[in-house]
Amino acid sequence: MPSFTPINFQSSETPNINEFFVFGERNSGTNFVDALLRNNFPQLGQSANDRITKFGFRYGWKHGFPQMIAAPDTTLAVVMFRSPERWAQSMHRQPWHSAKYLRDISFSDFIRAPWQSIVDEKNFGITSGADARAHVELQWDRHPLTGAGFDNVIQLRNAKTMGFLSLKNRFQNVIFARYEDVANAPDAFIALISKTYGLSASSNFIPVDQQRGRKIDGDFVPHKYDDLSRADHDFIWSELDKKQEKILGYAP
């Protein structure tokens, strides 16, 4: 069985976990990991996910900057990251909630374009197109303190990464992981969580075979990405916060 090593983790002295919540930017494996945890820890099956309720998101928008009202020690925060090059390519391929102008341009133009997201689905709590908040800019993808937009998707990553890393200061029980590592050793990932947080896993490991962890989306088929051009690779790494990426275990 391949081994799994997290980026970092911490636990309370005697963890008593009764729910989990997965955080991470779009295209970072959040749906995959959410499904993996539900499959293998049935006692946590009622945990909140990215579907909004009449009371809003339980721990804020999972793809956004931290905005939970509380972070109880009975909740396990699972925080996902993905290698910056593949993440940027995946964002270009599936730019969830992005403005239309970002959907019809080349990858080279995409990573250099100003970032903007749109309130484009009911899951944001906007259930009617007549609502003045529908189909306008999504404020959750602007800087949470200054309100400024981001010059490009890489600058968005830098800010989101800072926010996600702050979850260590918020949740007593938290684990940070790279998508690549979980995908390579999902059973070892489950075993580590079981041991670290005192959770009983299913007797037989249950993998995730569906796209985004959802049967409705069909079987998962890995997408093969082309190698980046030298110019695009260099641009991405010139924009990245390299100190943060080093913490995550990524390097040029």
What one-character-per-residue DSSP string does 63-101 give?
A: TSS---S---TTEEEEEEE--HHHHHHHHHHS-TTB-GG
So what's the pLDDT on residue 212? 56
21, 71 Cβ separation under 8 angstroms: no
CA pair distance 162, 140, nearest whole angstrom: 15
CA pair distance 159, 144, nearest whole angstrom: 9
- Mean pLDDT, the chain, rounded, equals 94
Q: Please check whether residue 220 lies inside any domain of the structure.
A: yes
Provide the domain count of the chain: 1
So what's the pLDDT on residue 10? 98
So what's the pLDDT on residue 123? 86
So what's the pLDDT on residue 122? 86
CA pair distance 79, 28, nearest whole angstrom: 10
Q: Is the pLDDT of residue 214 over 70?
A: no
So what's the pLDDT on residue 67? 93
Confidence of residue 38 (pLDDT cuts 50, 70, 90): very high
So what's the pLDDT on residue 179? 98
Confidence of residue 55 (pLDDT cuts 50, 70, 90): low
Helical spans, DSSP H, in the chain: 30-40, 84-93, 107-110, 153-165, 179-184, 186-197, 230-239, 242-248
Mean local confidence (pLDDT), 91-106: 97
So what's the pLDDT on residue 113? 99
Question: Domain span at residue 166?
Answer: 15-94+160-247
CATH at 41: 3.40.50
Backbone dihedral region for residue 218 (phi beyond 0: left; psi -120 to 50: alpha; all else: beta): left
180-212 pLDDT, tens digit per residue, is 999 999 999 999 999 999 999 999 999 999 765
So what's the pLDDT on residue 193? 98
Q: Please check whether residue 134 lies inside any domain of the structure.
A: no
Mean local confidence (pLDDT), 28-43: 96
pTM of the model: 0.94
- The residue among 128, 63, 62, 137 whose CA lies nearest residue 100 is 137
3-state secondary structure of 157: helix
Q: Please check whether residue 212 lies inside any domain of the structure.
A: yes
Q: Please check whether residue 6 lies inside any domain of the structure.
A: no
Q: Is the pLDDT of residue 149 over 70?
A: yes
Q: Is the pLDDT of residue 215 over 70?
A: no
Q: Residue 87 CA to chain centroid, in angstroms? A: 11
So what's the pLDDT on residue 211? 63
Confidence of residue 57 (pLDDT cuts 50, 70, 90): confident
Q: Please check whether residue 36 lies inside any domain of the structure.
A: yes
Q: Please check whether residue 227 lies inside any domain of the structure.
A: yes
So what's the pLDDT on residue 218? 64
First to last CA, the chain: 29
Q: Please check whether residue 223 lies inside any domain of the structure.
A: yes
Which tokens in the block code for residue 203? 């007797």
110, 153 Cβ separation under 8 angstroms: yes
